[in-house]
Amino acid sequence: MNKKKLNINENDILFFDMDGTLVNTDFANFLSYKKAIQLFIQLGDEIQFNPDDRFNRTSLKIAFPNLTEKEYEKIIKKKEENYKEHLSETKLNKTVMNILLKYYKTNKTVLVTNCREDRALITLSYHNLTDKFSNIFFRTVSENGKRINKYKNAISSLSLSAQTVIVFENEKPEIEDAIRAGIFAKNIIKI
């Protein structure tokens, strides 16, 4: 987390990202993919865990470019089913969790994640965090399948002023989305 001094008052709304910010889910995600891939493909050493790069759908296509769309979808579905088996491999970011625990009773706290609803809820439940949020926003895509700016969506849905929002986020593209949504750069805490 960057070393900004937190200056939070009771009117501030706190937006928390989940994956990589509040909870490190990368290893559990990787294990879920690896197990799913092994059901459909004879694996040697094709994939190894890289703590600096989250394994995702794009990584899957790069690692296995000859997959059919049907195989690809089967692996994704199985990966989602496997995730709950690897929850013990998820780890809370204690610094961010302590901020959440300090302010959830006095401030509006909102989970704003690109995670799918079912995976987000089982992760939050596993760490006893579900009731710490006033609102939860999950991955949203537009009608044409494009990713929606999660911060703009949450601000609009809650009828908030972007200037009252403090964001906790770890991904550069998401930080850029927060700024595009009108959140002051000084109110974005990079994890």
Same domain membership, residue 98 and residue 169: yes
Residue 83 lies in a domain: yes
Residue 4 lies in a domain: no
| pLDDT score, position 4 | 56
Residue 44, domain extent: 26-88
Same domain membership, residue 160 and residue 113: yes
Convert 123-141 into a string of H (helix), E (strand) and C (coil): HHHHCCCHHHCCEEECCCE
Using CA atoms, how far apart are residues 165 and 145, in angstroms rounded to an integer?
Answer: 27
Same domain membership, residue 102 and residue 65: no
Residues contacting residue 95 through CB under 8 Å, at least 6 positions apart: 1
The segments of the chain whose pLDDT lies below 70 read 1-5, 43-46, 142
Do residues 17 and 168 lie in contact, with contact meaning Cβ atoms separated by under 8 Å?
yes
Give the Å distances, CA to CA, from 149 to 108, 157, 190: 20, 12, 17
Residue 105 lies in a domain: yes
Number of structural domains in the chain:
2
pLDDT digits (tens, 9 = 90+) for 59-85: 899 888 988 999 999 999 999 999 999
Instruction: Give the global pTM.
Output: 0.89
Same domain membership, residue 153 and residue 61: no
Same domain membership, residue 77 and residue 97: no
Using CA atoms, how far apart are residues 38 and 65, in angstroms rounded to an integer?
Answer: 16
Using CA atoms, how far apart are residues 171 and 54, in angstroms rounded to an integer?
Answer: 11
